[in-house]
Amino acid sequence: DAGVIQSPRHEVTEMGQEVTLRCKPISGHNSLFWYRQTMMRGLELLIYFNNNVPIDDSGMPEDRFSAKMPNASFSTLKIQPSEPRDSAVYFCASSSAGTGHTGELFFGEGSRLTVL
Amino acid sequence: SQQGEEDPQALSIQEGENATMNCSYKTSINNLQWYRQNSGRGLVHLILIRSNEREKHSGRLRVTLDTSKKSSSLLITASRAADTASYFCATGLTGNQFYFGTGTSLTVIP
């Protein structure tokens, strides 16, 4: 299995532009998570999906952030409009939830976003 | 941090020594996991301990959990230069949510 695949790996954009980050979870996993990592705040859980349905988006910082999971093999995190304080590494992770599964998270390599 | 905090923030040891990292958390948990992150990479799962367990071993890793004190420790024995990384604890709450601590940066000097 190729693991969790994120794109782009690096994105540099200007303030006000729309940013879309993409994630392909591991096949067969039914939970997907978006995290944001910064030096100041560490790893923050933004939103997670179970069976393609958003379960908890309380970590999404503002209305400028939105996430979708149209099917079991694809998710997007969109920031519109982007601001310099959104600069961070965004991680996608997937897991198999449910009886008998450990809930171990498998992370992608991250998308490093820089907003100028 | 949404849940846990690791201590110390940074640790530097000589190769062959043992490294101990601690994690404190705030609420009741179902399980606690430790992850490792190499510079510029994603996190990799190391070990999981359930709330009804007190100690667990995996290779050179030993994890303890004290739910009364809401704390856990990760011991890496006979450290190697390749163990240099950041280590995070993640607490599993109800449902399938995991919250990460702030991490301990470990440097193992050859």
Q: Which residue has the higher pLDDT, A65 or B96?
A: A65
Average pLDDT, chain B: 91
Question: Is B99 in Cβ contact with A102 (below 8 Å)?
Answer: no
Q: How far apart are CA A112 and CA B44, in angstroms?
A: 18
Give the 3-state secondary structure of A60-73.
Answer: CCCCCEEEEEEECC
pLDDT number for residue B30: 84
How would you label A43-59 residue by residue, b for 16+ Cβ within 10 Å and e otherwise? Answer: bbbbbbbbebebebeeb
A76-80: average pLDDT: 98
A55-78: average pLDDT: 93
Which residues does chain B have within 8 Å of residue A45's beta carbon, measured at their own beta carbons? 2, 97-100
Which residues does chain A have within 8 Å of residue B1's beta carbon, measured at their own beta carbons? 41-42
Strand partners, A78: A20, A66
Question: CB of B34 within 8 Å of any CB in chain A?
Answer: no
Q: Which of B51, B79, B82 is nearest to B64 (CA)?
A: B51
Question: Is B103 in Cβ contact with A91 (below 8 Å)?
Answer: no
Is residue A94 predicted with pLDDT exceeding 50?
A: yes
Question: Is B96 in Cβ contact with A48 (below 8 Å)?
Answer: yes
User: DSSP letters along A41-57, please?
Assistant: TEEEEEEEEETTEEEE-
pLDDT > 70 fraction of chain B, expressed in percent and rounded: 94
Question: Is A42 in Cβ contact with B103 (below 8 Å)?
Answer: yes
Is residue B3 predicted with pLDDT exceeding 80?
A: no
Q: In which band, very low, low, confident or very high, does the pLDDT at B33 lie, cut at 50, 70 and 90? A: very high
Is residue A100 predicted with pLDDT exceeding 50?
A: no
pLDDT number for residue A99: 44
Question: CB of B67 within 8 Å of any CB in chain A?
Answer: no
Q: How far apart are CA A109 and CA B49, in angstroms?
A: 25
pLDDT tens track for A10-59: 999 999 999 999 999 999 999 999 999 998 888 999 998 999 999 888 88
Q: Which of B79, B5, B1 is nearest to A36 (CA)?
A: B1
A91-106: average pLDDT: 77
Which residues does chain A have within 8 Å of residue B36's beta carbon, measured at their own beta carbons? none
Let me know how long chain A is: 116
Is residue B1 predicted with pLDDT exceeding 60?
A: no
pLDDT number for residue A22: 98
Q: In which band, very low, low, confident or very high, does the pLDDT at A102 lie, cut at 50, 70 and 90? A: low
Measure Cα distances from B81 to A17, A42, A48, B86, B109 in Å: 42, 24, 35, 13, 6
Q: In which band, very low, low, confident or very high, does the pLDDT at B28 lie, cut at 50, 70 and 90? A: confident
CA atoms within 13 A on the CB side of B14: 1
Q: How far apart are CA A86 and CA B93, in angstroms?
A: 27
How many C-beta neighbours within 10 Å does residue A2 have? 7
